[in-house]
Amino acid sequence: MPDRHIFLIGMQGCGKSSLGKRVARETGLPFADTDAIVAASGGGTVNDFFARYGEDVFRRAETGALVELTRARPMIISTGGGSIMNPENRHIMRSWGSIVLIDRPLEEILSDIKLDRRPDLRDGGLAEVERVYRDRIEVYRNLADIIVRNDRGYHMAVYTLTRLVRERF
């Protein structure tokens, strides 16, 4: 059992939630997804929350979710793609855990991403995904303690992240 949380960061569509859930099952660790927590607090989906309350309220709720999760026993926590843009969130993650970037090539994200599920990207289309990626990728890489490449398929990424969690945490 790790003594600190494992925060998964990365671009929307990089695999944080799906990999985090699977690796949590494989390792017996608890799992939490800040997007799911915030969406549930609004009584619906992330899209519903954005439509009802807006991005600023979503980002404040995201910080609140991170604070609450740090009070629980160590777990794998999938964070929202934009969570790292808030200095307070970066401080929380640095203080309470290890940060793992799930680094997936932009081309693969573009081929998989479902824009209708991404309220902050929907209006700008794939060009907006590319812009956000360029704006954030260095922040992700600089914040990460460890980088896990997700460019050889889901099962390889599960294997790599599971091994990392078991060996390093």
Residue 21: domain span:
5-168
Digit-coded pLDDT (tens) for 88-137: 999 999 999 999 999 999 888 888 766 455 555 556 567 888 898 999 99
Give the pLDDT score at 124: 59
Number of domains making up the chain: 1
**What pLDDT digit, counting tens, does each position of 128-161 carry?**
888 989 999 999 999 999 999 999 999 999 999 9
What pLDDT, on a 0 to 100 scale, did the predictor assign at position 128?
80
Quickly count: other Cβ atoms within 10 Å of residue 59's Cβ: 18
Q: Residue 28: pLDDT above 60?
A: yes
* 5 bridge partner residues: 97
For residue 116, the domain's CATH number is 3.40.50.300
In the predicted model, what is the mean pLDDT of residues 25-34? 97
Q: 95: Cβ–Cβ under 8 A, 6 or more apart, which residues? A: 70
DSSP class of 115: G
CA torsion through residues 147, 84, 79, 112, sign: negative
Quote the strand ranges of the chain, DSSP E.
5-9, 31-33, 76-78, 97-103, 146-149
pTM score: 0.91
Which pLDDT score is estimated for 56? Answer: 93
